[in-house]
Amino acid sequence: MKAFMVERYGDQAGVRAGEMPDPRVGADDVLVRIHAASVNPLDLKLRDGEFKAILPYRLPLILGNDFAGVVVRTGSAVTRFAVGDEVYARPGKDRIGTFAELIAVHQDDVAIKPTTLTMEEAASLPLVALTAWQALVERAHVKPGQKVLIHAGSGGVGTIAIQLAKQLGAHVAATASTAKADLVKGLGADVVVDHKQQAFETVLDGYDVVLDALGGQTLKKSLRVLKPGGMVIGIAGPPDAAFARELGANAILRLAMSALSYPTRRRAKRRNVTYSFLFMRASGDQLRELTPLVDAGKIRPVVDRVFPFEETREAMEYVEKGRAKVGKVVVAMTSGHDD
């Protein structure tokens, strides 16, 4: 099968198109012919080797972390899916590789695609929608009337998180640039802070939850807008010891991650708030909970641009250079499908 892979860590020069063996299909796997996949910042970090200490992939590594497509074969123990089903998923972190014609995925990680969406729209959702769900529903337990701040409101995670937070009954603030304020308001944000004109930490106060996709100074300042007992959930880092335990990391790595997040956790403790790092995980069950919201029009994907599969490298470069104005960038298979 055709695929885009990393042959050596470092930069775009290490990514190339080539032929790879078709995936092996285990008893619990579905083999999916991919129709579309989306580009995530995670792909760039993996390409650059940022996670090689904690996610030791063998090279060459096929990139790509979410997809939509059609089931073409099922393993002997598969009960949830049949050949011909239109599905979408974020594969487990050990089984990524959606910039390819085929992928084998464990049935627990897969869900039936929302019927109202195109393949390209559906492919834009799994990683960012699961990130939003795991942050707001699973970790923060957002309740009606709570105040939630979402940074980078026009980005991939932000566009979905705003809509989900509104569905949970929250009052939502988001940071965005002037040009994107109307889009972010249209997604449901009650307050939009133009980060180029205002310092969000001076105009917002008393928030229960902050979802931070930016890290650095934004994370530091986010602690100031929380009420006592509030929580910042960071998806840009720094990682913490809880994440290291989830990974099953050794004692040295656990200590290193704990040290990375120590200054943030110490500042949070002084303010009687908490910091939590989230590295989202695959979950077909959570996608199944999200799907009805999508089909009812309560959560809609935001796609910036679709590239043909042959231009996957260009799509990654487009994301890396910050050219995407809103939402997600998708790559779509252009060859004919006979499934």
The answer on 132 and 269 residing in a single domain is yes
Structure tokens at 41: 């910042």
The answer on 204 and 167 residing in a single domain is yes
CA distances from 10 to 15, 48, 51, 183 (A): 9, 4, 12, 35
Give, as one character, the DSSP assignment of residue 300. Answer: -
The answer on 224 and 112 residing in a single domain is no
- The DSSP bridge partners found for residue 332 are 36, 308
Q: pLDDT tens, 178-206?
A: 999 999 999 999 999 998 899 999 999 99
Angstrom distance (rounded) from CA 229 to CA 208: 8
Q: What is the pLDDT averaged over residues 284-298?
A: 98
The answer on 117 and 138 residing in a single domain is no
In a domain, 244, yes or no: yes
Structure tokens at 323: 């050219």
Whichever domain contains 73, its CATH number is 3.90.180.10
How much is the mean pLDDT over the chain?
A: 95
Residue whose tokens read 């109202």: 116
- CB-based contacts of 299, cutoff 8 Å, min separation 6: 129, 160, 163, 164, 167, 290, 293
The answer on 249 and 309 residing in a single domain is no
Give, as one character, the DSSP assignment of residue 243. Answer: H
Residue 52: domain span: 2-124+301-332
Whichever domain contains 255, its CATH number is 3.40.50.720
The answer on 167 and 115 residing in a single domain is no
The answer on 260 and 228 residing in a single domain is yes
Angstrom distance (rounded) from CA 108 to CA 91: 9
Angstrom distance (rounded) from CA 322 to CA 197: 20
Predicted confidence at residue 337, as pLDDT, reads 44
In a domain, 62, yes or no: yes
Q: pLDDT tens, 114-146?
A: 999 999 999 999 999 999 999 999 999 999 999
Q: Helices 156-167 & 126-133, crossing angle to 10 degrees?
A: 50
The answer on 118 and 137 residing in a single domain is no
The answer on 308 and 239 residing in a single domain is no
Comparing CA positions, the residue from 323, 284, 283 lying closest to residue 305 is 323
Q: pLDDT tens, 37-86?
A: 999 999 999 999 988 877 889 999 999 999 999 999 999 999 999 999 99
Structure tokens at 46: 């993996």
Q: How many structural domains does the chain have?
A: 2
Structure tokens at 88: 């979408």
Angstrom distance (rounded) from CA 130 to CA 62: 21
Predicted confidence at residue 335, as pLDDT, reads 54
pLDDT tops 50 at residue 338? no
The residue type at 267 = R
Model pTM greater than 0.75?
Answer: yes
- Do 206 and 148 meet the contact criterion of CB atoms below 8 Å apart? no
